[in-house]
Structure 1
Amino acid sequence: MTEVSSGSVGTPKWQTLPDTPRLPTGGQEGVVEIAGAKIWYKVYGSGPPVILLHGGLGNSDYWGLQVAALAATCQVIVMDSRGHGRSSRGGGTMSYVLMKNDVMALIDHCNLPKAAIVGWSDGAIIGLLLAMQHPDRISGVFCFGANSGPNGTFDLTNNAMFNRYIKRTEEEYARLSPTPDGFGEFLGEMNTMWITQPDFTVADLKGIQVPVWVVDGDHEEVIRREDTLFIADTIPNSGLSIQPEVSHFSVLQDPDQFTADIRRFLRAKGIV
């Protein structure tokens, strides 16, 4: 089992924010250039392609405790979203569609006929967009912590956990980004995006035909449960899974559970 720091004794793990892991050594690094940005990615293992998309403000290191296990049976591709981590910002107004286009550029760059998407938070929203707009290229979406619109999230202004996460990602941005002093501007752009996007309609969600599991934590502090249920109830033939004793940061709080659920999804849908 993976050992993870869980804070002080007696603190429920859904109230902790364990350290960000690092990606495993090895793998093949690369860059895709699109719309003025250089999108960083890294590939591990071989087999059916699975692309891991991190949450807003974060970077690919957040998948550090999933990559090795998944790479035993899959070609695992991590990428830093536009303006995040090691990827540059480029031009255009920040949007989920812009970041979705970056994923498609990566899929084409790697000559992948199809890929499964594992998305957390913003990455999950991008995964749903890919399923809506490019169903012929997406073999399935494991969608953790997505919202259908701005009203699907809580007001996070005074949310201690999310503010801790912002502080951490600012430090990571300074260490990884090609524009290390630009976090304030970047955060402003992300906040502007979050208050207006996404805007998924019933018709959008009903139109999804690729396999989707809608997943969240039972102590989710960012996404309203009713919105998670709306997404799951509206996407045809989707699965719903609520992970126990974790929050929006499940990927850190119980990485073994998170990895096991990804593998269960990939097996259930015949992807591996």
Structure 2
Amino acid sequence: MGAYADLPGVRTWYETEGDGDPLVLLHGGFCTNETWGAQRPDLAGAYRLFLPERRAHGHTPDVAGPLSYRDMADDTAAFLERVVGGPAHLVGWSDGGVVALLVAAARPDLVRRVVVIGANFRPGPECFTDPAMLDAMTPDSPDMEFFREMYAAVAPDGADHWPVVAAKVVDMWRTQPTLSPEDLGCVRAPTLVVAGDDDLMTLEHTAALYRAIPGARLAVVPGASHLVPLEQPERINRMVLDHLAGDAEVETMMPVLRAASGAPGGGG
């Protein structure tokens, strides 16, 4: 079921499904809720899903000026307050993961548990495995056809607005996010960091993200790319469900990072 919510920043399209504790799914850049198709049945069997489409994505219109992750995080916090009605679990993929981290750091009162998939905390030139890909992402390039068609199918601003949105998103990737390890240290919600072993972000960057979040857990999925939720949905869905249920919090026999931080789940 889909509807619009009139939030302070933008009139936001969202969908809902399932019953139980609230779980917000945050899609990736250039994407729509359609990309969560492989996750929705399993997750909706255990949770009440909320799927907002961010400004300039899907059914949600663009706004004046540049796009920023912080504005999108503010939109998401307002969505949690006004539509969800309180704290929820957040699962964010790519740009959605960046937004989830920002919300978790700034509004811990609104976040229960977090899963981020293929997320980054520094701009693309600093963390992409192949930063040159940013130069190839022109609105009419063949590599953008999938996103271009997805946008044109539902965008309230019309297909002709695609070049504007494409340029805004790529500009955002070039310069944002600009989080520090200290910023990530403000994330207190139990967090699972997931990446493919051949992801857009370097494994070194993903490891730095994981290490900066107190008590975080890390899963590097073998034989997977940035599209791991589509490539290995059963594995990803199981990881998400286990983490949100707390089933992954077992005491280890020889903790190092968790022993030093005193985070839950450490042994010694």
The answer on whether the counterparts of 1:145 and 1:223 sit within 8 Å (CA) in structure 2 is yes
Q: How far 1:97 moved relative to its partner?
A: 0.8
The answer on whether the counterparts of 2:89 and 2:111 sit within 8 Å (CA) in structure 1 is yes
Selected match of 2:239 from 240, 245, 261: 261
1:205 lines up with 2:184 in the alignment: yes
Superposed CA RMSD in Å reads: 2.0
The answer on whether the counterparts of 2:94 and 2:119 sit within 8 Å (CA) in structure 1 is yes
Selected match of 2:195 from 216, 229, 244: 216
The answer to which structure has the higher helix fraction is: 2
Task: Give CA deviations for 1:99-131 in whole Å, capped at 9, x if unaligned.
Answer: 111111211222422111000000000000011
* Distance (Å, rounded) in 2 between the aligned partners of 1:164 and 1:249: 18
Q: Percent identity?
A: 29
Amino acid at match of 2:160: D
Amino acid at match of 2:18: G
The answer on whether the counterparts of 1:41 and 1:79 sit within 8 Å (CA) in structure 2 is yes
Task: Give CA deviations for 1:153-181 in whole Å, capped at 9, x if unaligned.
Answer: 2335459x987662201011111101221
Give the 3 Å change call, closer, same or farther, for CA 158–231 of structure 1 in structure 2.
closer
Task: Give CA deviations for 1:230-271 in whole Å, capped at 9, x if unaligned.
Answer: 01111110001111211101111111112111111111269x
Amino acid at match of 1:245: G
* Distance (Å, rounded) in 1 between the aligned partners of 2:37 and 2:84: 24
Choose between structure 1 and 2 for higher RCO, CA contacts under 8 A separated by at least 6 residues: 1
1:78 maps to 51
Selected match of 2:148 from 135, 147, 170: 170
SS in 1 for 2:198: coil
Amino acid at match of 1:154: T
The answer on whether the counterparts of 2:108 and 2:189 sit within 8 Å (CA) in structure 1 is yes
* Distance (Å, rounded) in 2 between the aligned partners of 1:71 and 1:37: 26
1:50 lines up with 2:23 in the alignment: yes
2:210 maps to 232
* Distance (Å, rounded) in 2 between the aligned partners of 1:197 and 1:103: 17
The answer on whether the counterparts of 2:192 and 2:219 sit within 8 Å (CA) in structure 1 is yes
Q: How far 1:193 moved relative to its partner?
A: 0.8
Selected match of 2:128 from 153, 158, 169: 153
Q: How far 1:35 moved relative to its partner?
A: 4.4
Task: Give CA deviations for 1:17-76 in whole Å, capped at 9, x if unaligned.
Answer: xxxxxxxxxxx3221223452211011111111000111001110001111111111001
1:116 maps to 89
Give the 3 Å change call, closer, same or farther, for CA 110–37 of structure 1 in structure 2.
closer
Q: How far 1:203 moved relative to its partner?
A: 1.1
Q: TM-score, normalised by structure 1?
A: 0.83
Amino acid at match of 2:195: D
Runs of 5+ unmatched residues, structure 1: 1-27
1:181 maps to 160
Number of residues of Structure 1 aligned to a counterpart in Structure 2: 241
* Distance (Å, rounded) in 1 between the aligned partners of 2:50 and 2:142: 27
1:91 maps to 64
2:266 maps to none
1:12 maps to none
The answer on whether the counterparts of 1:29 and 1:41 sit within 8 Å (CA) in structure 2 is yes
Trace 1:50-69 onto structure 2 (pairs within 5 A). 50-69=23-42
Between 1:241-250 and 1:261-270, the stretch displaced more is: 261-270
Runs of 5+ unmatched residues, structure 2: 249-268
The answer on whether the counterparts of 2:5 and 2:83 sit within 8 Å (CA) in structure 1 is no
Task: Give CA deviations for 1:64-103 in whole Å, capped at 9, x if unaligned.
Answer: 1111111111001112111001111123431001111111
Give the 3 Å change call, closer, same or farther, for CA 194–256 of structure 1 in structure 2.
same
Selected match of 1:129 from 95, 99, 102: 102
Give the 3 Å change call, closer, same or farther, for CA 116–82 of structure 1 in structure 2.
same
Task: Give CA deviations for 1:159-208 in whole Å, capped at 9, x if unaligned.
Answer: 9x987662201011111101221111101011111111101112101121
Q: TM-score, normalised by structure 2?
A: 0.85
* Distance (Å, rounded) in 1 between the aligned partners of 2:178 and 2:9: 26
